[in-house]
Amino acid sequence: MSKVTGKKVVIEGSLAVAEAVKYCRPNVISAYPITPQTHIVEDLAQMVADGELKAEFVNTESEFAAASVVFGASTAGARTYTATTSQGLFLMFEVLYNIAGSRLPIVLTCANRAVSAPISIWNDQQDSLAVRDAGWIQVFCEDAQEIHDFQPIAFKVAEDPKVRLPFMTMLDGFVNTHTYEQLVLMDQALVDQYLPTYKPVVRLDPAHPMTFGALAMPDVYHEIRYMLNRALMGSMSVYADAVKEFNETFGREYTPFLEEYRSEDADVVMVSMGSLCGTIKDAVDELRKEGMKVGLVKLRMHRPLPKTAIRKALDRASVVAVIEKDISLGLEGIIATDVRATFAGHDGPNVLSYVAGLGGRDVTVPQLKTIMKEAATWKGRESPDEPFWVGLKRDIIPEV
Amino acid sequence: MAEKLTDGAVVKPASTHVNKTGAWRSMRPVVDLEKCVKCYICIDLCPEGAISALPEKKGVQVDYDYCKGCGICSSACPQTAYTMVREEK
Amino acid sequence: MATNAPATKPKTLKDGYIPPAERLFSPGHRGCAGCGELLAARLVIEAAGPNTIVANSTGCLEVTTTPYPESSWGVPWVHSLFENSAAVASGVEAALKSMGRKEGVNIIAQGGDGSTVDIGLGLISGMLERGNDILYVCYDNEAYMNTGVQRSGATPFCASTTTSPSGEQSFGNMRPKKPMVEIAAAHGIPYAASASVAYPRDLQKKVKKALSIKGPKYLHIHVPCPTGWYAESINTIKIGKLAVDTGLFPLYEIENGVVTGVKKAKVRPKVEEYLKTQNRFKHLFAKPGGDEVIKQIQAIADRNAERLGLDEK
């Protein structure tokens, strides 16, 4: 990584986000505090107060209002940013769909947290995955360096005239937001070169009045939603190009859709997203030492779902153990269902769903090793209809 | 040739005029200009904005392309200069 | 519609004919014949002028003026959701400020009584508390009209709506109107006022006055709805006048917490004159006990008169 330019620091994950957002020069930031996102918006507020970041920082009375403020600001042609998690993301639910349907390039950071009820402030990924259908581009990050680097990528892709879609980046609440990691900060001059000033295609402007948010009758709504989906699918190639350009500018080596860790010749491959992948890499290394052919495919882009890339990364495996911190209640892990979808009608591995770490429960290296060994025994068998729950304390669960 | 849709359903300004709502009415207001004192209260009170002043203070005119025949003008005119007449069609 | 074109281009319809495509509010919208709300919206935007950006909530006004691919609006206009026009407008203001484009631009957030006093109340409160330079306009036709005349927090005492209907065992909506002008004023804003579409010149004066003041402003406009009030469209303005003149919808301003600009009158008609013009009150004249209810409604008007000094001595 000799080409990597920028200052080396050890900072809190939340500050890594705030610093990156600062370099992207947003015009308007609006957010409502909610644990564990708070440090991100507090850091940004301090930067504005100190004149370090020239932006309008709008405090609101709820996340619904914060999302609506960035909606209005983006429609008026500003570069906008917000951050939230869990209940706050859910309170924004209506506005998230409205933003995507209105083709606004708003950037949002979600500090993944469990959802109520019962209430929990600790990390899992139920929140951001629940809004996967809203039309936002969704990219999950593993560590502070990634979440830092993917902010300008997010703005660049969102604002591309061929895309014009909102972009959500994810980091894990507490695990990423409240821990200190070493990272290399981006150089402001390079960010300015990579991410030019936002030039909206249309905006609210008395000199050129336009109407936004018209009523679509049945004769046009179907097609307008098709156009939205077409733009979302098309964003994959724009995103891949943006990541490539980022690598060249900043000296990084990101692969856009997923990262393959020792999975090329693996028999059992784990699939996951976010910070858990760090732990999985340790488990993979230990099992490899013990002679097992295992690996990890870390999924980065979740929406749109990069099916071709996923198939290519997994089709040599016999068993795929999808381990995730979420569940689609009444079915299984969401990513597991997505991986199954990529193989529908194709020959492929046996896909197993593992639900782990809900509500901030630690997932350990020994647990992961056990899972991979167990997954190997499912070679050639029909996968069960219900997911496996990792580390379930059966002794405290009452009988039915 | 079909008009292409816009991304995000963005719409051109002041374009509803293609829809001639005059077709809605069953009664039409007819103004007697001799009674009109140019107070222009009817202009203010037309929900369609279908009434405008004639040049040289000659009175008012109704745009029958858009008049829905609600009758507010006839009710509001202090000079009772308007009569509501049934549409022939 | 060719006429002798005046020497200079007409600025308002009172100066002469303006081609619809050049207007701030074009005809051809799908509003009911005699709609008070659409009339008020036209008056508001014509008073505000072309240098105005409007954020509009879901409702009759939004739906009837923007059926894709048409729009009645000759100014930049955005509709997001039902409850959030105040927050959207806050975002517009922040954007303009951040990009140095705010100078001379009016920002209006508007919606019906449903989006204002009920579902959007919290977001309006936030906007008022933040002190954004925005005029919020409420078009009050006293029910959720766009969805079929269901009651709102602004539905007056004993009006019949589809979710608070009069019936064998009910006189309709048994709750008083939410005092929205006072609620807005309680936020310490420089200007809050009531207006009526039946007094259009007063309405436009208040819009212009509000927009000349920096900071958050609130304007509550009474707009009779012939469809939802079960009245004749020809009587829209007559009904609106009676609402004001009986004291049920008084016109006044609150400037920096002080009541000013009260519309007084020597004669205050009895509320019956108003109630009998609309069938949403017809049960008061038919059901036993209706006259007692009418007395209670008269008491509401009398209390308004006392509180605001409506009766000119």
Q: What is the pLDDT of residues C148-160, one digit of tens each?
A: 999 999 999 999 9
- Cβ of residue C201 closer than 8 Å to a chain B Cβ: yes
CB-defined contacts A:C, below 8 A: 161
Taking residues C202-212, report their average pLDDT.
98
pLDDT at B3: 83
- Alpha-carbon gap: C7 to the closest alpha carbon of chain A (Å): 25
For CA atoms C44, C48, C50, C54, the dihedral sign is: negative
Residues A333 and A360 in one domain: yes
- Cβ of residue A359 closer than 8 Å to a chain B Cβ: no
- Alpha-carbon gap: B86 to the closest alpha carbon of chain C (Å): 14
Residues A225 and A262 in one domain: no
Q: Is C194 exposed, middle or buried (0-12, 13-18, 19+ CB in 10 A)?
A: buried
Q: How confident is the model at residue C1 (pLDDT cuts 50, 70, 90)?
A: very low
Q: Is the pLDDT of residue C250 over 60?
A: yes
**Residue A191 to residues A219, B48, C2, C272, C286: CA-CA distances in angstroms?**
43, 52, 58, 70, 74
* C contact chains, 3+ CB pairs < 8 A: A, B
pLDDT at C4: 52
Residues of C in contact with B13 (CB under 8 A): 71, 73-77
Which of B6, B12, B66 is closest, CB to CB, to C27? B66
Reported as a single tens digit per residue, the pLDDT across B1-24 is: 578 999 888 999 999 999 999 999
Asked if A80's CB is within 8 angstroms of C91's CB, the reply is yes
Q: Is the pLDDT of residue C5 over 60?
A: no
- Residues of chain A whose C-beta is under 8 A from some C-beta in C? 27-28, 30, 54-56, 58-62, 64-66, 68-78, 80, 94-95, 98, 102, 204-206, 208-217, 220
Asked if C24's CB is within 8 angstroms of B53's CB, the reply is no
Residues A292 and A200 in one domain: no
Reported as a single tens digit per residue, the pLDDT across A17-45 is: 999 999 999 999 999 999 999 999 999 99
Closest residue on chain B to C233 (Cα): B70
Q: Is the pLDDT of residue A311 over 70?
A: yes
Residue B69 lies in a domain: yes
Reported as a single tens digit per residue, the pLDDT across A203-261 is: 999 999 999 999 999 999 999 999 999 999 999 999 999 999 999 999 999 999 999 99
Q: At what angle do helices A13-23 and A144-159 cross, to 10 degrees?
A: 30
Domain count of the fold of chain A: 2
Q: Which amino acid is at C34?
A: G
pLDDT at A4: 72
Residues A225 and A288 in one domain: no
Residues A173 and A230 in one domain: yes
Q: Is the pLDDT of residue A298 over 90?
A: yes
What is the pTM (predicted TM-score) of this model? 0.96
Which of B15, B53, B55 is closest, CB to CB, to C26? B15
Q: What is the dihedral of CA A75, A80, A85, A90, to 10 degrees?
A: 0
Around A329, how many Cα atoms within 13 Å sit in the side-chain half-sphere? 6
* Domain assignment of residue A192, given as a range: 8-250
pLDDT at C269: 98
Closest residue on chain B to C15 (Cα): B53
* Domain assignment of residue B68, given as a range: 25-86
Single out the residue in A196, A222, A250 at which a domain terminates.
A250
Reported as a single tens digit per residue, the pLDDT across C163-185 is: 999 999 999 999 999 999 999 99
Domain count of the fold of chain B: 1
pLDDT at C8: 73
Residue B13 lies in a domain: no
Taking residues A352-357, report their average pLDDT.
98
Residue B1 lies in a domain: no
Asked if C81's CB is within 8 angstroms of A68's CB, the reply is yes
Alpha helix segments (H runs only) across chain C: 36-48, 60-65, 85-98, 113, 121-130, 180-185, 200-211, 236-245, 271-275, 283-286, 290-308
Partners of A9 in the β-ladder: A183
Residue A100 lies in a domain: yes
Residues A326 and A343 in one domain: yes
Q: Is the pLDDT of residue C32 over 90?
A: yes
Q: Is the pLDDT of residue B38 over 90?
A: yes
Residues A363 and A336 in one domain: yes
Average of per-residue pLDDT values in chain A: 97
Residues of C in contact with A75 (CB under 8 A): 78, 88, 91-92
Residues A229 and A337 in one domain: no
* A contact chains, 3+ CB pairs < 8 A: B, C
Optimal mutation site among A211, A215, A219, A228, interface B, most CBs of chain B within 10 A: A211
Q: Is the pLDDT of residue A1 over 50?
A: no
Taking residues A321-346, report their average pLDDT.
97
- Cβ of residue B14 closer than 8 Å to a chain C Cβ: yes
Asked if A58's CB is within 8 angstroms of C92's CB, the reply is no
Which residues are CB-neighbours of C142 under 8 A, at least 6 positions away? Answer: C113, C152, C154, C155, C156, C159, C177, C225, C228, C229
The residues in B 5-64 lying below 8 A from A, measured between CB atoms, are 5, 7-14
Of C267, C218, C276, C210, which Cα lies nearest the Cα of C244? Answer: C267
Q: Is the pLDDT of residue C126 over 70?
A: yes
DSSP string, B9-21: G-B-SS-GGGS-G
Residue A76 lies in a domain: yes
Single out the residue in A233, A250, A267 at which a domain terminates.
A250
Residues of C in contact with B23 (CB under 8 A): none
Residue A1 lies in a domain: no
List of domains in chain C:
20-308 (3.40.50.970)
Q: How confident is the model at residue A5 (pLDDT cuts 50, 70, 90)?
A: confident
Taking residues A319-339, report their average pLDDT.
98
Residues A263 and A286 in one domain: yes
Asked if C238's CB is within 8 angstroms of B53's CB, the reply is no
Residue A73 lies in a domain: yes
Residues of C in contact with B49 (CB under 8 A): 13, 23, 25-27, 42
Residues A245 and A265 in one domain: no
The residues in C 77-116 lying below 8 A from B, measured between CB atoms, are 77
Residue B57 lies in a domain: yes
Q: How confident is the model at residue A112 (pLDDT cuts 50, 70, 90)?
A: very high
Whether the complex's predicted ipTM is more than 0.85 is answered with yes
Partners of C202 in the β-ladder: none
- Cβ of residue B61 closer than 8 Å to a chain C Cβ: yes
Residue B75 lies in a domain: yes
pLDDT at A98: 98
Which residues are CB-neighbours of C33 under 8 A, at least 6 positions away? Answer: B24, B25, B47, B68, B69, B70, C226, C233
CA separation for the pair A303, A308 (Å, rounded):
13
Q: Is the pLDDT of residue A369 over 70?
A: yes
Taking residues A266-287, report their average pLDDT.
98
Residue A61 lies in a domain: yes
Q: Is the pLDDT of residue C51 over 50?
A: yes
Residue C274 sits at the vertex; the CA angle it makes with C272 and C280, to the nearest 5 degrees, is 95
Among residues of chain C, what percentage have pLDDT more than 90? 96
Of A118, A196, A149, which Cα lies nearest the Cα of A358? Answer: A118
Asked if C97's CB is within 8 angstroms of A68's CB, the reply is no
CATH number of the structural domain spanning residue B59: 3.30.70.20
- Alpha-carbon gap: C306 to the closest alpha carbon of chain A (Å): 36
- Residues of chain C whose C-beta is under 8 A from some C-beta in A? 50-53, 55-56, 62-63, 66-71, 73-81, 83-84, 87-92, 94-99, 101, 105, 122-123, 125-126, 129-130
The DSSP bridge pattern shows strands C258-260 and C253-255 to be antiparallel
Residue B6 lies in a domain: no
pLDDT at C29: 97
pLDDT at C233: 96
Query: What are residue C56's phi and psi, to 5 degrees?
Result: -120, 135
pLDDT at A164: 98
CATH number of the structural domain spanning residue A62: 3.40.50.970
Residue A32 sits at the vertex; the CA angle it makes with A26 and A34, to the nearest 5 degrees, is 120
Around A292, how many Cα atoms within 13 Å sit in the side-chain half-sphere? 23
Residues A183 and A321 in one domain: no
Asked if C42's CB is within 8 angstroms of B14's CB, the reply is no
- Cβ of residue C287 closer than 8 Å to a chain B Cβ: no
Residues A18 and A152 in one domain: yes
Residues of C in contact with B17 (CB under 8 A): 20-21, 26-28
Which of C13, C43, C72 is closest, CB to CB, to B16? C72
Reported as a single tens digit per residue, the pLDDT across B49-76 is: 999 999 999 999 999 999 999 999 999 9
Residue A2 lies in a domain: no
Taking residues C270-288, report their average pLDDT.
97
CA separation for the pair C40, A101 (Å, rounded):
30
Residue B9 sits at the vertex; the CA angle it makes with B2 and B3, to the nearest 5 degrees, is 10
Residue B79 lies in a domain: yes
Residue holding tokens 């979710």? Answer: C163
The DSSP bridge pattern shows strands C258-260 and C135-140 to be unpaired
Residues of B in contact with A102 (CB under 8 A): 8
Residue C69 sits at the vertex; the CA angle it makes with B18 and A96, to the nearest 5 degrees, is 155
The pair of structure tokens assigned to C270 is 């009895």
Optimal mutation site among C8, C24, C25, C26, interface B, most CBs of chain B within 10 A: C26
